Amino acid sequence: LSGLTWPAGAVMLLDLSRIRAGAEHIERRFPPSEVAARDEEFRITSPVNFVGEVHKDGHKARLTGRVTATLECDCSRCLEPYSIPVDAELDLLFLPVADVATQATEEERAVEEDDLGVSYYKDETIDLGEVVREQFYLALPMKPLCQETCMGLCPVCGANRNRETCACETTWVDPRLEALKALKKG
């Protein structure tokens, strides 16, 4: 193992003041509890592996590498948990927050196209936990499905249609059209 490493249980902060100009190799394995998400969109079910390099040029820092782990989230149709393997490449440019503050306050500053790939660091540290969590959110599907053919839950009895069948009537009539239906019968 070469480059920057952290002892087990260490905070996931990358100290940029220790990095000289050039590149430093980073290789670290974090337990799921250290990277835990702050909400319930997904759960981390395997250790998180981060391998990459940080390139420092003056105040600019570029972080490149790969994050791998396994996430678990709930299917949006049947609500059953399922696993999502994550193998995400990242290439992020970091600038100090002070550079932004001198240009304008965050509310006043317009976001330009060049800013979309830029992140900011404060006090010479980059929180790798935030970087990893961001990659996990980007890896999540917009509509998580356990399988493309998931039949979801019965809207009447709540049975999981992937596992059992029910005899519920699922025909839905728009209540706004009930008056027209009565006219048609009459």
pLDDT digits (tens, 9 = 90+) for 4-42: 444 444 457 888 888 776 788 989 898 988 887 666 789
Q: Is the dihedral of CA 122, 44, 39, 133 positive or negative?
A: positive
Q: What is the pTM of this model?
A: 0.73
Q: What's the rounded Cα separation, in Å, for the pair 135 and 85? A: 12
- Report yes or no: 69 and 135 within 8 Å, Cβ to Cβ: no
pLDDT, tens digit (0-9, with 9 covering 90-100), for 68-106? 999 999 999 999 999 999 999 999 999 988 755 555 555
